[in-house]
Structure 1
């Protein structure tokens, strides 16, 4: 920082140019380092005990396959068909539980997307069950 003195013995003038440069560099840094994605929390009910077979009995089982497909009761579906099927299930029985079973190697984001599809259809009892090898 450079201090410039007046000729008449008054106060010293401080140059603001370096300060403005530092503020600009900090502004650019925080703009580039920030992430503007929307973060949402997912409520998952967990318990200390393992899930019993009786608590999942009668639930609709949605299997998320490692190859990107979805299965409901052995029937292969895509994302749009899953949404339509879950909407029809919610219209018949809104309290019906849904169990999402991911295969080994399925990305977590894919499982979350399936859970959001089920919840958007109007079903609230969604849980994740461990799949074979998962």
Structure 2
């Protein structure tokens, strides 16, 4: 009669696995950027806009999802194309107003896009 040995499983230590996961987590946290910072140059208006006629001003109203360009509501991309076309026709002054539900990030995004159009004078209107 042969005696069989009872098979005893050894407990696997997961300490080294936890260490590796912690190091990977630490690496990816330090290597990743969670927020995007951007700068917009804002200067005070030195030129008088009184010489500009009212029909030469491009009016842009920023909403939470869409923008209104000269009384027509449009998507952002379409509005930027129209602004570039108006700029090519000689209209360089844009007056921007902001709705109450617009976040600061939304305003910053629109201003960054408009800042990419050379020769455009941007005026942000104070809320009434």
Q: Aligned equivalents of 1:32 and 1:40: distance in 2?
A: 21
How high is the TM-score relative to the length of structure 1?
0.58
Q: Does 1:89 align with 2:86?
A: yes
SS in 1 for 2:59: strand
Per-residue deviation, 1:75: 0.9
* DSSP-derived class of the 1:106 partner: coil
Q: Does 1:126 align with 2:122?
A: yes
Q: Distance in 1 between matches of 2:114 and 2:121?
A: 9
The higher-RCO structure (CA 8 Å, 6+ apart) is 2
Aligned equivalents of 1:92, 1:119: Cα separation in 2 = 18
Size of the alignment, in residue pairs?
103
Offset of residue 34 of structure 1: 6.1
Cα deviation for residue 112 of structure 1 reads: 1.8
Whole-Å separation in 2 of the counterparts to 1:34 and 1:46: 38
Q: Tell me which residue corresponds to 1:71.
A: 68
Q: For residues 5-39 of structure 1, what are the alpha-carbon distances to aligned partners after superposition, in whole Å with 9 as ceiling and x for unaligned? A: xxxxxxxxxxxxxxxxxxx97xx757525653553
Q: CA RMSD in A?
A: 3.2
Secondary structure of 1:44's counterpart equals coil
> 3-state SS of the aligned residue for 2:101?
coil
Q: 1:98 — aligned with what?
A: 94
Query: Which structure 2 segments of 5+ residues have no match?
Result: 1-21
Structure 1 unaligned residues grouped into runs of 5+: 1-23
TM-score by length of 2: 0.60
Check whether the contact 1:87–1:122 (CA below 8 A) recurs between aligned residues.
no
Q: How do residues 1-134 of structure 1 correspond to structure 2 at under 5 angstroms?
A: 29=26, 32-33=29-30, 36=33, 38-46=36-44, 54=50, 58-66=56-64, 68-93=65-90, 96-132=92-128
